[in-house]
Amino acid sequence: MNFSPLVQELIDALKCLPGVGAKSAQRMAFHLLERNRTGGSKLSNALKNAMENIGHCQQCRTFTELDVCEICRNPKREIIQQLCIVESPADVIAIEQTGEFKGKYFILMGHLSPIDGIGPEDLGLDILSQLLNADHFKEIILATNPTVEGEATAHFIAELASKHNVNVSRIAHGVPVGGELEYVDGNTLSHALSGRKSYS
């Protein structure tokens, strides 16, 4: 059976969401139409606004509707002169939640991956280079993911930063809190051992 064109259009549009196939899209569409028309209108407005207005922060490249995002505009963040480099905006949220870091961020929106065709220019490293020229940072913290690609990205940025005479550090990797050594893979364990700290 074919749905009327508008219904079909809605279902097809919903399928663009990750993890949503034909069946889920149909269920979502019917739910919105039957039970939650206000929610549906709100969603459509929010989507429209977001898609039209949200761009990238000129300094850190996170998603924002402003030219420069809240974190980059906060003068308190300047004081500590630290820059944390992460792969995605979700990583910023994760680090913000720890409350440990009070500096600024730079978001790469991915990692170096030659096979996927993602090179240095796709990660905004030219913007990063400008940022390092303009602002004076005491330390750059490389918080890319502990994957081979993440490590390669970290190395590439470290080389870039060495031209600007900035201290570069890499986040530690090891055993997760509440984890069990028995189930931790060998690579992580060997990192944990080689990066051990003296007990004081």
For the segment 70-109, give every residue that binds another protein (CB under 8 A).
none
When binding is defined by CB under 8 A, the residue of 75, 185, 198, 200 that contacts another protein is 185
When binding is defined by CB under 8 A, the residue of 65, 67, 96, 116 that contacts another protein is 116
Rounded to an integer, what distance in angstroms lies between the CA atom of residue 98 and that of residue 82?
16
* Number of CB atoms found within 10 A of residue 106's CB: 26
- Only one of the segments 24-32, 53-61, 72-80, 181-189 lies at the binding site for another protein (rule: CB under 8 A); that segment is 181-189
- Only one of the segments 55-63, 81-89, 131-139, 175-183 lies at the binding site for another protein (rule: CB under 8 A); that segment is 175-183
CB neighbour list of residue 187: distance below 8 Å, 6 or more residues apart? none
Rounded to an integer, what distance in angstroms lies between the CA atom of residue 59 and that of residue 85?
12
The two three-digit tokens of residue 128, written as one number: 């990063």
The two three-digit tokens of residue 179, written as one number: 């984890």
Distances (CA, A) of 151 to 40, 107, 117, 124: 42, 15, 17, 17
Bridge partners of 82, per DSSP, are: 139
When binding is defined by CB under 8 A, the residue of 13, 22, 187, 196 that contacts another protein is 187
- Only one of the segments 53-61, 68-76, 124-132, 177-185 lies at the binding site for another protein (rule: CB under 8 A); that segment is 177-185
Shortest approach of another protein to residue 192 CB, angstroms? Answer: 12
Residues at the interface with another protein (CB under 8 A): 19, 112, 114-120, 147-148, 151-152, 155-156, 159, 176, 179, 183, 185-188, 190
